[in-house]
Chains A and B, each alone.
Chain A
Amino acid sequence: MLIDMHVHPIFYGPICNDDAELENRKNAFGVWKQGPMDFEELFAEWDICGITQAALLPLDLTTTAGCWVVDNDQVEALCGMNPDKFIGFASVDPHRPDAVDVVRKAFEEQGLQGLKLNPAKQKFYPNDPVAEPIYKLCEQENKPVIFHSGLSWEPNTPTKYCHPIAFEEVLIKHPNLRVCLAHFAWPWVREMAMLMIKYPNVYTDTSLLYVDSPEEQMMELFTKDMGPMWFERCFPEQVMFASNGPRFRAFKLKRALDKVPMRDFARENLYYKNALRFLTGKGCNHYGRGEDDPASE
Protein backbone atom coordinates (compact mmCIF):
# COMPACT_ATOMS: atom_id res chain seq x y z
CA MET A 1 0.00 0.00 0.00
CA LEU A 2 1.30 3.45 -0.91
CA ILE A 3 -0.54 6.76 -0.55
CA ASP A 4 0.67 9.84 -2.39
CA MET A 5 -0.43 12.71 -0.17
CA HIS A 6 0.33 15.63 -2.48
CA VAL A 7 -0.89 15.72 -6.08
CA HIS A 8 -2.08 18.67 -8.16
CA PRO A 9 -4.43 17.16 -10.79
CA ILE A 10 -3.81 20.04 -13.19
CA PHE A 11 -3.41 17.80 -16.23
CA TYR A 12 -6.01 15.11 -15.46
CA GLY A 13 -7.83 14.64 -18.76
CA PRO A 14 -11.47 14.86 -17.62
CA ILE A 15 -10.95 18.39 -16.26
CA CYS A 16 -8.87 19.66 -19.19
CA ASN A 17 -11.63 20.43 -21.67
CA ASP A 18 -11.27 24.21 -21.54
CA ASP A 19 -8.02 25.40 -23.19
CA ALA A 20 -8.15 28.90 -21.65
CA GLU A 21 -8.71 27.51 -18.17
CA LEU A 22 -5.85 25.05 -18.62
CA GLU A 23 -3.55 27.86 -19.73
CA ASN A 24 -4.52 29.90 -16.66
CA ARG A 25 -3.82 26.92 -14.44
CA LYS A 26 -0.38 26.37 -15.97
CA ASN A 27 0.60 30.01 -15.62
CA ALA A 28 -0.77 30.38 -12.08
CA PHE A 29 0.88 27.17 -10.91
CA GLY A 30 4.07 27.73 -12.90
CA VAL A 31 4.23 24.48 -14.82
CA TRP A 32 4.74 24.20 -18.55
CA LYS A 33 5.69 21.78 -21.35
CA GLN A 34 3.28 19.19 -20.03
CA GLY A 35 -0.21 18.41 -21.27
CA PRO A 36 -3.40 16.55 -20.40
CA MET A 37 -3.10 12.88 -19.52
CA ASP A 38 -5.79 10.26 -19.30
CA PHE A 39 -6.26 7.93 -16.36
CA GLU A 40 -4.63 5.01 -18.19
CA GLU A 41 -1.35 6.92 -18.38
CA LEU A 42 -1.67 8.11 -14.78
CA PHE A 43 -2.33 4.65 -13.41
CA ALA A 44 0.50 3.13 -15.47
CA GLU A 45 2.85 5.23 -13.37
CA TRP A 46 1.03 4.30 -10.18
CA ASP A 47 1.35 0.62 -11.04
CA ILE A 48 5.13 0.60 -11.43
CA CYS A 49 5.64 1.96 -7.92
CA GLY A 50 2.61 0.56 -6.12
CA ILE A 51 0.61 3.73 -5.48
CA THR A 52 -2.88 2.78 -4.36
CA GLN A 53 -4.35 6.18 -3.50
CA ALA A 54 -3.55 9.85 -3.95
CA ALA A 55 -4.73 13.08 -2.36
CA LEU A 56 -5.89 15.55 -5.01
CA LEU A 57 -5.34 19.20 -4.11
CA PRO A 58 -7.16 22.20 -5.64
CA LEU A 59 -6.28 25.83 -4.96
CA ASP A 60 -8.64 28.78 -4.67
CA LEU A 61 -7.10 32.06 -5.86
CA THR A 62 -10.34 34.00 -6.17
CA THR A 63 -9.23 37.30 -4.62
CA THR A 64 -5.55 37.21 -5.56
CA ALA A 65 -5.70 35.96 -9.16
CA GLY A 66 -9.38 35.65 -10.03
CA CYS A 67 -9.15 31.95 -10.73
CA TRP A 68 -8.64 28.49 -9.27
CA VAL A 69 -5.88 26.03 -10.02
CA VAL A 70 -8.42 23.20 -10.14
CA ASP A 71 -11.58 23.89 -8.12
CA ASN A 72 -13.48 21.93 -5.49
CA ASP A 73 -16.16 20.84 -7.96
CA GLN A 74 -13.52 19.42 -10.29
CA VAL A 75 -11.88 17.49 -7.45
CA GLU A 76 -15.30 16.17 -6.42
CA ALA A 77 -15.91 15.06 -10.03
CA LEU A 78 -12.53 13.32 -10.30
CA CYS A 79 -13.14 11.51 -7.01
CA GLY A 80 -16.53 10.39 -8.28
CA MET A 81 -14.79 8.76 -11.27
CA ASN A 82 -12.31 6.86 -9.08
CA PRO A 83 -13.64 6.83 -5.52
CA ASP A 84 -11.30 4.05 -4.39
CA LYS A 85 -8.18 5.79 -5.69
CA PHE A 86 -8.64 9.51 -5.13
CA ILE A 87 -8.80 11.33 -1.80
CA GLY A 88 -10.34 14.71 -2.52
CA PHE A 89 -9.23 17.84 -0.73
CA ALA A 90 -10.92 21.23 -0.83
CA SER A 91 -9.41 24.66 -1.02
CA VAL A 92 -10.62 28.14 -0.18
CA ASP A 93 -9.26 31.64 -0.45
CA PRO A 94 -9.35 32.84 3.19
CA HIS A 95 -9.95 36.40 2.01
CA ARG A 96 -13.28 35.66 0.37
CA PRO A 97 -16.24 36.60 2.55
CA ASP A 98 -17.96 33.23 2.09
CA ALA A 99 -14.84 31.22 2.91
CA VAL A 100 -16.39 29.25 5.77
CA ASP A 101 -19.44 28.41 3.68
CA VAL A 102 -17.22 27.12 0.85
CA VAL A 103 -15.34 24.85 3.25
CA ARG A 104 -18.48 23.64 5.01
CA LYS A 105 -20.05 22.75 1.66
CA ALA A 106 -16.88 20.92 0.62
CA PHE A 107 -16.88 18.78 3.77
CA GLU A 108 -20.60 18.25 4.29
CA GLU A 109 -21.97 18.12 0.74
CA GLN A 110 -19.07 17.32 -1.58
CA GLY A 111 -17.42 14.65 0.53
CA LEU A 112 -13.99 16.24 0.46
CA GLN A 113 -11.67 15.02 3.18
CA GLY A 114 -9.35 17.88 4.01
CA LEU A 115 -8.31 21.40 3.13
CA LYS A 116 -5.38 22.72 1.06
CA LEU A 117 -4.06 26.24 1.61
CA ASN A 118 -1.04 28.02 0.17
CA PRO A 119 -0.31 31.12 2.28
CA ALA A 120 2.32 32.41 -0.16
CA LYS A 121 0.06 32.20 -3.17
CA GLN A 122 -3.07 33.25 -1.28
CA LYS A 123 -1.23 36.08 0.52
CA PHE A 124 -1.95 35.53 4.19
CA TYR A 125 0.17 34.73 7.19
CA PRO A 126 -0.91 31.43 8.73
CA ASN A 127 -1.74 33.17 12.04
CA ASP A 128 -3.80 35.89 10.33
CA PRO A 129 -7.20 36.17 12.06
CA VAL A 130 -8.84 35.91 8.64
CA ALA A 131 -8.05 32.18 8.65
CA GLU A 132 -9.21 31.48 12.21
CA PRO A 133 -12.84 30.58 11.38
CA ILE A 134 -11.54 28.13 8.78
CA TYR A 135 -9.22 26.40 11.24
CA LYS A 136 -12.02 26.17 13.80
CA LEU A 137 -14.33 24.58 11.26
CA CYS A 138 -11.66 22.04 10.30
CA GLU A 139 -11.22 21.16 13.98
CA GLN A 140 -14.96 20.79 14.44
CA GLU A 141 -15.30 18.61 11.36
CA ASN A 142 -12.15 16.57 12.18
CA LYS A 143 -10.59 17.45 8.81
CA PRO A 144 -6.84 17.94 8.30
CA VAL A 145 -5.20 20.91 6.62
CA ILE A 146 -2.28 20.74 4.17
CA PHE A 147 -0.35 23.99 3.89
CA HIS A 148 2.24 24.70 1.28
CA SER A 149 5.47 25.31 3.18
CA GLY A 150 9.00 26.34 2.27
CA LEU A 151 10.06 27.06 -1.29
CA SER A 152 7.21 27.61 -3.71
CA TRP A 153 7.89 27.64 -7.41
CA GLU A 154 4.52 29.19 -8.20
CA PRO A 155 4.88 32.75 -9.53
CA ASN A 156 4.28 35.60 -7.09
CA THR A 157 4.75 33.60 -3.91
CA PRO A 158 6.71 35.51 -1.23
CA THR A 159 8.35 32.85 0.89
CA LYS A 160 7.87 34.81 4.11
CA TYR A 161 4.30 33.51 4.31
CA CYS A 162 5.45 29.90 4.23
CA HIS A 163 8.42 29.77 6.58
CA PRO A 164 7.71 26.92 9.03
CA ILE A 165 8.04 29.20 12.04
CA ALA A 166 5.13 31.26 10.68
CA PHE A 167 2.87 28.28 11.48
CA GLU A 168 3.87 27.79 15.11
CA GLU A 169 1.17 29.97 16.63
CA VAL A 170 -1.48 28.05 14.68
CA LEU A 171 -0.14 24.79 16.11
CA ILE A 172 -0.23 26.20 19.64
CA LYS A 173 -3.72 27.63 19.23
CA HIS A 174 -5.15 24.51 17.58
CA PRO A 175 -3.64 21.43 19.22
CA ASN A 176 -6.45 19.28 17.87
CA LEU A 177 -6.02 20.40 14.28
CA ARG A 178 -3.94 18.01 12.18
CA VAL A 179 -1.66 20.13 10.01
CA CYS A 180 0.74 19.10 7.26
CA LEU A 181 3.47 21.56 6.34
CA ALA A 182 4.23 20.14 2.94
CA HIS A 183 7.55 19.64 1.16
CA PHE A 184 9.42 19.26 4.47
CA ALA A 185 9.33 23.08 4.46
CA TRP A 186 12.47 22.84 2.33
CA PRO A 187 15.03 24.34 2.75
CA TRP A 188 14.08 24.68 6.44
CA VAL A 189 14.28 20.98 7.22
CA ARG A 190 15.67 21.46 10.73
CA GLU A 191 12.99 23.99 11.61
CA MET A 192 10.45 21.46 10.34
CA ALA A 193 12.04 18.77 12.50
CA MET A 194 11.88 21.10 15.50
CA LEU A 195 8.16 21.66 14.98
CA MET A 196 7.49 17.92 14.69
CA ILE A 197 9.36 17.23 17.92
CA LYS A 198 7.41 19.94 19.70
CA TYR A 199 3.91 19.55 18.22
CA PRO A 200 2.42 16.09 17.67
CA ASN A 201 -0.33 17.49 15.47
CA VAL A 202 2.06 18.67 12.75
CA TYR A 203 3.04 16.45 9.82
CA THR A 204 5.16 16.90 6.73
CA ASP A 205 5.76 15.06 3.45
CA THR A 206 8.52 13.96 1.10
CA SER A 207 7.53 16.00 -1.94
CA LEU A 208 10.78 17.85 -2.45
CA LEU A 209 13.17 17.46 -5.33
CA TYR A 210 14.65 20.83 -6.01
CA VAL A 211 18.39 20.44 -6.34
CA ASP A 212 19.52 16.88 -7.05
CA SER A 213 18.57 13.50 -8.38
CA PRO A 214 15.80 11.72 -6.43
CA GLU A 215 18.33 9.31 -4.92
CA GLU A 216 20.63 12.13 -3.85
CA GLN A 217 17.91 14.41 -2.48
CA MET A 218 16.09 11.73 -0.44
CA MET A 219 19.36 10.45 1.00
CA GLU A 220 20.40 13.99 1.88
CA LEU A 221 17.03 14.64 3.52
CA PHE A 222 16.98 11.54 5.69
CA THR A 223 20.68 11.22 6.52
CA LYS A 224 22.32 14.66 6.22
CA ASP A 225 19.73 17.44 6.50
CA MET A 226 18.47 15.38 9.40
CA GLY A 227 20.45 12.93 11.47
CA PRO A 228 20.00 9.41 10.08
CA MET A 229 17.91 8.31 13.10
CA TRP A 230 15.76 11.39 13.58
CA PHE A 231 12.74 10.14 11.63
CA GLU A 232 12.62 6.76 13.37
CA ARG A 233 13.43 8.08 16.82
CA CYS A 234 11.70 11.39 17.06
CA PHE A 235 8.72 11.71 14.70
CA PRO A 236 8.04 8.37 12.98
CA GLU A 237 4.31 9.12 12.79
CA GLN A 238 4.57 12.56 11.23
CA VAL A 239 6.17 12.16 7.77
CA MET A 240 4.11 11.06 4.75
CA PHE A 241 5.01 9.92 1.25
CA ALA A 242 4.13 12.54 -1.37
CA SER A 243 5.24 13.47 -4.86
CA ASN A 244 3.95 16.98 -5.66
CA GLY A 245 2.94 15.73 -9.11
CA PRO A 246 3.16 17.08 -11.78
CA ARG A 247 6.39 18.74 -10.61
CA PHE A 248 8.08 15.49 -9.56
CA ARG A 249 7.44 11.93 -10.73
CA ALA A 250 6.16 9.76 -7.91
CA PHE A 251 7.85 6.53 -8.95
CA LYS A 252 11.27 8.15 -8.91
CA LEU A 253 10.79 9.49 -5.38
CA LYS A 254 9.54 6.06 -4.27
CA ARG A 255 12.55 4.38 -5.90
CA ALA A 256 14.83 6.78 -4.04
CA LEU A 257 13.06 6.35 -0.70
CA ASP A 258 13.29 2.56 -1.01
CA LYS A 259 17.07 3.01 -0.83
CA VAL A 260 17.05 5.11 2.37
CA PRO A 261 17.85 2.86 5.34
CA MET A 262 15.05 2.71 7.89
CA ARG A 263 13.26 0.09 9.95
CA ASP A 264 10.20 -1.65 8.51
CA PHE A 265 7.77 0.03 10.91
CA ALA A 266 9.06 3.47 9.90
CA ARG A 267 8.82 2.66 6.19
CA GLU A 268 5.23 1.45 6.60
CA ASN A 269 4.41 4.64 8.44
CA LEU A 270 6.05 6.73 5.74
CA TYR A 271 4.35 4.98 2.85
CA TYR A 272 0.76 4.85 4.14
CA LYS A 273 0.07 4.54 7.85
CA ASN A 274 0.87 8.15 8.65
CA ALA A 275 -1.36 9.28 5.80
CA LEU A 276 -4.24 7.27 7.24
CA ARG A 277 -3.65 8.80 10.67
CA PHE A 278 -3.45 12.27 9.20
CA LEU A 279 -6.64 11.83 7.21
CA THR A 280 -8.78 10.29 9.91
CA GLY A 281 -7.18 11.11 13.25
CA LYS A 282 -7.54 7.44 14.13
CA GLY A 283 -4.60 5.48 15.43
CA CYS A 284 -2.61 8.51 16.48
CA ASN A 285 -0.74 7.52 19.62
CA HIS A 286 1.85 10.25 19.46
CA TYR A 287 4.79 7.93 19.49
CA GLY A 288 6.46 7.92 22.86
CA ARG A 289 4.27 10.67 24.21
CA GLY A 290 1.86 8.47 26.15
CA GLU A 291 -1.30 10.12 24.96
CA ASP A 292 -4.00 9.62 22.37
CA ASP A 293 -4.87 12.05 19.66
CA PRO A 294 -7.83 14.07 20.92
CA ALA A 295 -9.38 13.91 17.47
CA SER A 296 -9.39 10.12 17.29
CA GLU A 297 -12.49 8.14 18.07
Chain B
Amino acid sequence: MVVVKTIRHLSKAVSEFYNITEQVHGIVEKSGIKNGFVAVITSHTTTGIMVNEALPCVEQDLSELMDKLVPLNEPYLHAHFLPTYGATSNNSQGHLKSALTGNHCLFPVLDGKIVCGGAQEIYLAEYDGPQARKVFVEVMGE
Protein backbone atom coordinates (compact mmCIF):
# COMPACT_ATOMS: atom_id res chain seq x y z
CA MET B 1 0.00 0.00 0.00
CA VAL B 2 1.12 3.55 -0.69
CA VAL B 3 -0.13 6.68 1.04
CA VAL B 4 0.99 10.12 -0.17
CA LYS B 5 0.25 13.34 1.73
CA THR B 6 1.43 16.91 1.20
CA ILE B 7 2.78 19.25 3.85
CA ARG B 8 2.32 22.91 2.88
CA HIS B 9 4.36 25.70 4.38
CA LEU B 10 4.68 29.42 3.68
CA SER B 11 8.21 30.42 4.54
CA LYS B 12 8.58 33.91 5.98
CA ALA B 13 12.29 34.51 5.49
CA VAL B 14 14.91 34.14 2.76
CA SER B 15 16.48 31.25 4.68
CA GLU B 16 14.91 29.20 7.44
CA PHE B 17 14.84 25.70 8.85
CA TYR B 18 11.24 24.63 9.35
CA ASN B 19 10.76 21.61 11.57
CA ILE B 20 8.24 19.17 10.08
CA THR B 21 8.99 16.20 12.35
CA GLU B 22 5.62 16.04 14.09
CA GLN B 23 3.72 16.36 10.84
CA VAL B 24 5.67 13.51 9.22
CA HIS B 25 5.25 11.24 12.26
CA GLY B 26 1.54 12.05 12.31
CA ILE B 27 1.10 11.17 8.65
CA VAL B 28 2.82 7.81 9.18
CA GLU B 29 0.73 6.96 12.24
CA LYS B 30 -2.52 7.80 10.43
CA SER B 31 -1.55 6.04 7.20
CA GLY B 32 -2.61 2.57 8.30
CA ILE B 33 0.71 1.17 7.14
CA LYS B 34 2.43 -0.95 9.79
CA ASN B 35 5.73 -1.94 8.20
CA GLY B 36 7.66 -0.29 5.37
CA PHE B 37 9.34 3.04 4.64
CA VAL B 38 8.48 6.70 4.66
CA ALA B 39 10.05 9.09 2.18
CA VAL B 40 9.99 12.85 2.73
CA ILE B 41 10.59 14.71 -0.53
CA THR B 42 10.59 18.42 -1.31
CA SER B 43 8.97 19.52 -4.56
CA HIS B 44 11.36 22.44 -5.09
CA THR B 45 14.93 23.07 -6.25
CA THR B 46 15.78 25.85 -3.82
CA THR B 47 14.80 23.97 -0.67
CA GLY B 48 16.19 20.86 0.97
CA ILE B 49 15.14 18.12 3.35
CA MET B 50 17.52 17.76 6.25
CA VAL B 51 17.72 15.49 9.28
CA ASN B 52 19.51 16.86 12.31
CA GLU B 53 19.17 17.73 15.97
CA ALA B 54 16.67 20.49 16.66
CA LEU B 55 18.84 22.79 18.72
CA PRO B 56 19.11 26.52 17.94
CA CYS B 57 22.90 26.33 18.13
CA VAL B 58 23.02 23.51 15.59
CA GLU B 59 20.64 25.37 13.31
CA GLN B 60 22.80 28.50 13.56
CA ASP B 61 25.98 26.56 12.81
CA LEU B 62 24.36 24.92 9.81
CA SER B 63 23.12 28.25 8.53
CA GLU B 64 26.54 29.86 8.88
CA LEU B 65 28.23 26.90 7.21
CA MET B 66 25.87 27.14 4.26
CA ASP B 67 26.59 30.85 3.84
CA LYS B 68 30.32 30.20 3.94
CA LEU B 69 30.09 27.40 1.40
CA VAL B 70 27.68 29.29 -0.87
CA PRO B 71 28.08 33.07 -0.48
CA LEU B 72 25.40 35.39 -1.85
CA ASN B 73 27.66 37.49 -4.02
CA GLU B 74 29.62 35.21 -6.31
CA PRO B 75 29.81 35.45 -10.11
CA TYR B 76 27.26 32.70 -10.60
CA LEU B 77 26.16 32.02 -14.18
CA HIS B 78 22.55 31.56 -13.10
CA ALA B 79 21.91 35.33 -12.95
CA HIS B 80 20.32 36.33 -16.23
CA PHE B 81 16.98 36.61 -17.96
CA LEU B 82 15.30 33.22 -18.44
CA PRO B 83 13.06 33.10 -21.53
CA THR B 84 11.17 30.05 -20.29
CA TYR B 85 10.11 31.98 -17.18
CA GLY B 86 9.89 35.53 -18.50
CA ALA B 87 11.77 36.42 -15.35
CA THR B 88 15.33 36.76 -14.17
CA SER B 89 17.09 33.97 -12.37
CA ASN B 90 19.06 35.22 -9.43
CA ASN B 91 18.73 32.41 -6.94
CA SER B 92 21.84 30.36 -7.59
CA GLN B 93 22.64 30.48 -3.90
CA GLY B 94 19.35 28.71 -3.21
CA HIS B 95 19.94 26.08 -5.88
CA LEU B 96 23.43 25.28 -4.64
CA LYS B 97 22.42 25.07 -0.98
CA SER B 98 19.56 22.82 -2.04
CA ALA B 99 21.97 20.56 -3.90
CA LEU B 100 24.22 20.31 -0.84
CA THR B 101 21.28 19.51 1.43
CA GLY B 102 19.52 16.98 -0.77
CA ASN B 103 15.86 16.77 -1.67
CA HIS B 104 14.68 13.94 0.57
CA CYS B 105 15.12 11.69 3.58
CA LEU B 106 14.01 8.15 4.29
CA PHE B 107 13.04 6.33 7.51
CA PRO B 108 11.92 2.80 8.28
CA VAL B 109 8.40 2.24 9.57
CA LEU B 110 7.78 -0.54 12.10
CA ASP B 111 4.56 -1.25 13.97
CA GLY B 112 2.99 1.86 12.46
CA LYS B 113 5.66 4.26 13.69
CA ILE B 114 8.81 5.86 12.33
CA VAL B 115 11.98 4.25 13.64
CA CYS B 116 14.58 6.95 14.29
CA GLY B 117 17.13 8.16 16.76
CA GLY B 118 16.03 10.48 19.56
CA ALA B 119 17.89 13.45 18.10
CA GLN B 120 16.72 12.97 14.53
CA GLU B 121 14.35 15.73 13.54
CA ILE B 122 13.22 16.48 10.02
CA TYR B 123 13.50 19.94 8.51
CA LEU B 124 12.30 21.64 5.38
CA ALA B 125 15.27 23.89 4.65
CA GLU B 126 14.24 27.09 2.84
CA TYR B 127 16.91 28.81 0.76
CA ASP B 128 14.96 31.21 -1.46
CA GLY B 129 12.02 32.39 0.58
CA PRO B 130 9.56 33.72 1.30
CA GLN B 131 7.55 31.28 -0.78
CA ALA B 132 4.68 28.81 -0.52
CA ARG B 133 6.32 25.38 -0.33
CA LYS B 134 5.19 21.76 -0.63
CA VAL B 135 6.71 18.59 0.79
CA PHE B 136 5.48 15.16 -0.23
CA VAL B 137 5.36 12.44 2.42
CA GLU B 138 5.04 8.99 0.88
CA VAL B 139 4.47 6.00 3.16
CA MET B 140 5.04 2.63 1.46
CA GLY B 141 4.47 -0.79 2.99
CA GLU B 142 1.83 -3.12 4.30
Binding site for B on A (CB under 8 A): 29-34, 37-38, 40-41, 44-45, 47-48, 153, 209-216, 246-249, 251-252
Contacts and interface: CB of A to CB of B under 8 A. Distances in A.
A212 B80 contact: yes
A295 B12 CA distance: 41
Interface string B123-142: 00000011110000000000
B86 A210 contact: no
Nearest to B93: A213
Given A31-B86, A153-B86, A247-B86, 19 more contacts: A32-B86, A34-B85, A37-B132, A41-B130, A41-B131, A41-B132, A44-B10, A44-B12, A44-B129, A45-B130, A47-B130, A48-B12, A153-B81, A210-B80, A213-B90, A215-B72, A246-B87, A248-B88, A249-B90
A213 B76 contact: yes
Nearest to A33: B85
Given A32-B86, A41-B10, A153-B86, A211 B132 contact: no
Nearest to A151: B81
Interface of B: 10-14, 72-73, 76, 79-81, 84-88, 90, 129-132
Contacts of A214: 90
A215 B130 CA distance: 19
Nearest to A36: B132
Contacts of B84: 32-33
The A interface is mostly helix, strand or loop, or mixed, namely loop
B88 A215 contact: no
Of B12, B76, B80, B87, most buried by chain A (CB within 10 Å of CB) is: B87
A33 B73 CA distance: 25
B113 to A, nearest CB: 33
Contacts of A212: 79-80
B88 A48 contact: no
B86 A211 contact: no
